[in-house]
Structure 1
Amino acid sequence: MPRLRAALLRAAPALGLFAAARLTGTLVFALWAWHIGRSPRALLATSWDSDWYLRIAANGYGRTLHWPDGAPMSDLAFFPLYPGLIRAVTGVLPIAYGTAGLLLSWLAAGAAAWGVYLVAERLAGRRVASLTVLLWALLPTSFVLTMAYTEPVMTAFAAWALYAVLTRRWLWAGTLAALAGLSRPNGVAIAAAVLAAAALELWRRRGRAGRRVWAGAALAPLGWASYLLWVGARRGDLFGGYFAVQDGWTSRFDFGAGAAHFVRDMLKGPTQFGYVMALVVTGIGVLLFALLLLDPDERPPLPVLVYTGVLVLITVGGSGFFESKPRFLLPAFPLLLPLARALTRARPRAAITVITGMAGLSFAYAPYALTLARMAL
């Protein structure tokens, strides 16, 4: 506990910046929503995937809608931890499901920001860590952190699992990775990171690592794998059932072929701003990963590279819902390390200009995405 309190005190300025950024963004969005006669709470709690999670929390699994061509959209595509937590909160507190979802997301976002700080601090020091947290709060899709979505929960578990790996707390790393895997499909990234770190530890010790390393490695993929197998058993196809569900949502991994076709068609004529933003953010994400990977002096440890690389690979190589790619990259906070380092070395005026520009874009994009755009989040 003394170490935890000390870590919280070190992170307090960064967490204050994070809270200020997200509160300002949420206030700007709320003012816009009231201006156009919409409810900010309803937009944050029930938009797009949020509605699916709240229905699962209230009624369990079993809802299926259909595309115009008859293809099914099953709620089995949504992982169970977040709706399970919503149901648990509403069983204790006399609040609505939407309010419980927002409360969980806000708390998880704070925990995630703390975990992001600790990982970045261990890799690059306090100044870079504080800037990493602030940049993460000012990403164009950072408004998702204040919605009833799973990204805050998954990132919180993943960031703390990474920190546990870096500090050699193997049982914590495996347990937190398992919980991240129960939160979102791309939670498999942190399981891969823990497995890679454990494999490296075993190689260094010639296979004589302690039981905690083996236990952490065994625990890490359990959450993700157990849900996939449960869906497969329910669908009558143990190993392929979940992927068939995702295929019904037009989501599949095709090494980027579907995304490339979408971009080709998008560039042929007029398109929505959200699609352009998705292309730009995804491209910048790939560039930042290249910088993270190729810099020999500041390259992060293997588990951080694996975690970030798997998230980038899933985002770039997946098809369907191209506009959601920036949201899929939101948990990939190590991508911000090269930019945070660059800002610490830049002149104060240049750094302030970059941060101000990001804040303006971030605060303006939420009203656009949730009230003006004609596309999924």
Structure 2
Amino acid sequence: MTPSRSISPRLREALRVCLPLFLAVRLGLLALGLLSVGLLPPIEPVSVPGWPAPPVPDPGWHAAITAWERFDALWFLRIAEGGYADGDGSAAFFPLYPIAIRLVSAVLGGHPLAAALLISNLAFLGALLVVYDLTRAERSEAVARTTVVLLATFPTAFFFLAPYSEAPFLLLSALALWAARRGRFALAGAAGFGAALTRNVGVVVAAALAAEAFQRRREGDRVLGRGLLAAGVAAGGTLVYLLSWQVRSGDLLAPLHQQATWQRRFSLPWDTLIQATRIAVRYVGATNGPYWLIDWLITVPFLAFSALALARSRWAFSVYLWGGLLIPLCYAFPDRPLMSMPRFVLPLYPALWAMAETLERRRIPRWAAAAVGAGGLGLLVPLYVNWYYIF
């Protein structure tokens, strides 16, 4: 167990490191998003049932906000305002983020997009603080500093600040494991419950909490019962959502069945990677070829660092990391096997520990890695804003 310390000094230190980083990335992406509108010939916007896509082009300073309303963001806003509907694909989007949007929007006088952005931004700042403190305890201060820099400048980190559920999920999942490592299993269970209500991979948090309980028992701590109870509470988040669909439509597994809306099919993870590699290599320079290559160039190195992370990680972090990787790898879109993987890996911070330790060991300055990530952001944000298929 990490020795207990006063919360206030830790929070002050985390804020001193994370708040300037958050503000720099937030302001940079705000400017980049605004400048990206109309920079490329836009692709036709894709509306979702019950929520029309904003027009493109849409001149004006308001584009600094509306530029982020793309792809899945429309689903979250539609669900927040109009609720779920049977058979339209909405079941694939877990409910906690839309519920939060609806509540905050009511406070703001009926502005769901502003509410979604406010929630995501505050959640991301909170997530940086938790990940920093957790990493400092599990690794070192230097690795913690590098980890949050890597997290904030990852090529797809703009999803943390867009109307997507990645930031709330990262905050809740990191908080669950932070609490479990300190023996605060009531908080761990509550945060895990929230994570499981936020994304379909949230059930992995329950498995990670169970793994921590078993490892602590092996180390001689008498926390198995409390740890497994926390894991059960966390798993309850997924169960509650599934049961809501059983009551609503008679289909307990509707959130899984509606993955077919995006033509995802079960695939063995190594088959997904083999097919993705073949396509990425075959279509370099061809029309749409960059999509496959972008997916591959982000996902495969991330997998390599995830493998390195296994050697030094506790069971809980390994379960969380690899569970979060294998679930999306097992449900692939055949024509673009790694579609959305660059976004799905965002909350899997234990892989960034391995990356940060490699940088520290080889004395590569963290700003160099941040520059590479910022270059990726500079490429992907204009594509996302102009409706190119970065989702």
Report the TM-score, using the length of structure 1 for normalisation: 0.87
Report if the CA contact (8 A) 1:282-1:316 is conserved: no
Change in Cα spacing, 1:263 to 1:223, as seen in structure 2 (3 Å) is: same
Report if the CA contact (8 A) 1:194-1:303 is conserved: yes
- Counterpart position of 1:221: 235
Q: CA deviation at 1:205?
A: 5.4
Q: CA deviation at 1:211?
A: 5.2
Give per-residue Cα distances to partners, 1:144-168, cap 9 Å, x unaligned. 0110000000000011111111111
Matches of 2:110 and 2:245 in 1, distance apart? 30
2:17 aligned to 10, 14, 17, which one? 14
Give per-residue Cα distances to partners, 1:76-95, cap 9 Å, x unaligned. 11100000001111222224
Report if the CA contact (8 A) 1:29-1:363 is conserved: no
- Counterpart position of 1:42: 66
Matches of 1:245 and 1:280 in 2, distance apart? 29
- Counterpart position of 2:341: 325
Report if the CA contact (8 A) 1:285-1:312 is conserved: no
1:28 aligned to 25, 32, 56, which one? 32
> Unmatched 5+ residue regions in structure 2?
41-56
Report if the CA contact (8 A) 2:36-2:381 is conserved: no
Give per-residue Cα distances to partners, 1:40-98, cap 9 Å, x unaligned. 31121x2111111111111111165xxxxxxxx42111100000001111222224111
Report if the CA contact (8 A) 1:158-1:177 is conserved: yes
Partner secondary structure for residue 286 of structure 1: helix
- Counterpart position of 1:305: 318
**1:12 partner amino acid:** L
Query: Number of aligned pairs?
Result: 359
Report the TM-score, using the length of structure 2 for normalisation: 0.84
Partner secondary structure for residue 315 of structure 1: helix
Between stretches 184-193 and 350-359, larger displacement belongs to: 350-359
Matches of 1:209 and 1:120 in 2, distance apart? 22
Q: CA deviation at 1:292?
A: 0.8
- Counterpart position of 2:183: 168
Change in Cα spacing, 1:335 to 1:209, as seen in structure 2 (3 Å) is: closer
Does residue 89 of structure 1 match 2:112?
A: no
Does residue 273 of structure 1 match 2:290?
A: yes
Matches of 1:372 and 1:94 in 2, distance apart? 29
- Counterpart position of 2:76: 53
- Taking every aligned residue pair, what percent have the same amino acid on both sides? 30
Matches of 1:210 and 1:275 in 2, distance apart? 44
1:264 aligned to 270, 278, 285, which one? 278
Change in Cα spacing, 1:287 to 1:50, as seen in structure 2 (3 Å) is: same
2:248 aligned to 189, 209, 234, which one? 234
Matches of 1:222 and 1:252 in 2, distance apart? 26
- Counterpart position of 1:68: none
- Counterpart position of 1:5: 8
Does residue 243 of structure 1 match 2:256?
A: yes
Matches of 1:355 and 1:334 in 2, distance apart? 17
Report if the CA contact (8 A) 2:210-2:228 is conserved: no
- Counterpart position of 1:289: 306
Give per-residue Cα distances to partners, 1:160-194, cap 9 Å, x unaligned. 11111111111111110110000011112211101
**1:283 partner amino acid:** V
Partner secondary structure for residue 330 of structure 1: coil
Report if the CA contact (8 A) 1:259-1:319 is conserved: no
Post-superposition, which runs of at least 4 consecutive aligned residues in structure 1 deviate over 6 A? none
Matches of 1:141 and 1:248 in 2, distance apart? 24
Q: CA deviation at 1:202?
A: 4.4
Report if the CA contact (8 A) 2:91-2:254 is conserved: no
Report if the CA contact (8 A) 1:195-1:220 is conserved: no
Partner secondary structure for residue 37 of structure 2: helix
Change in Cα spacing, 1:197 to 1:273, as seen in structure 2 (3 Å) is: same
Change in Cα spacing, 1:200 to 1:347, as seen in structure 2 (3 Å) is: closer
Report if the CA contact (8 A) 1:26-1:143 is conserved: no
2:350 aligned to 334, 340, 354, which one? 334
Matches of 1:280 and 1:242 in 2, distance apart? 30
Change in Cα spacing, 1:204 to 1:90, as seen in structure 2 (3 Å) is: same
Partner secondary structure for residue 153 of structure 1: helix
- Counterpart position of 1:113: 128
Q: CA deviation at 1:117?
A: 0.5
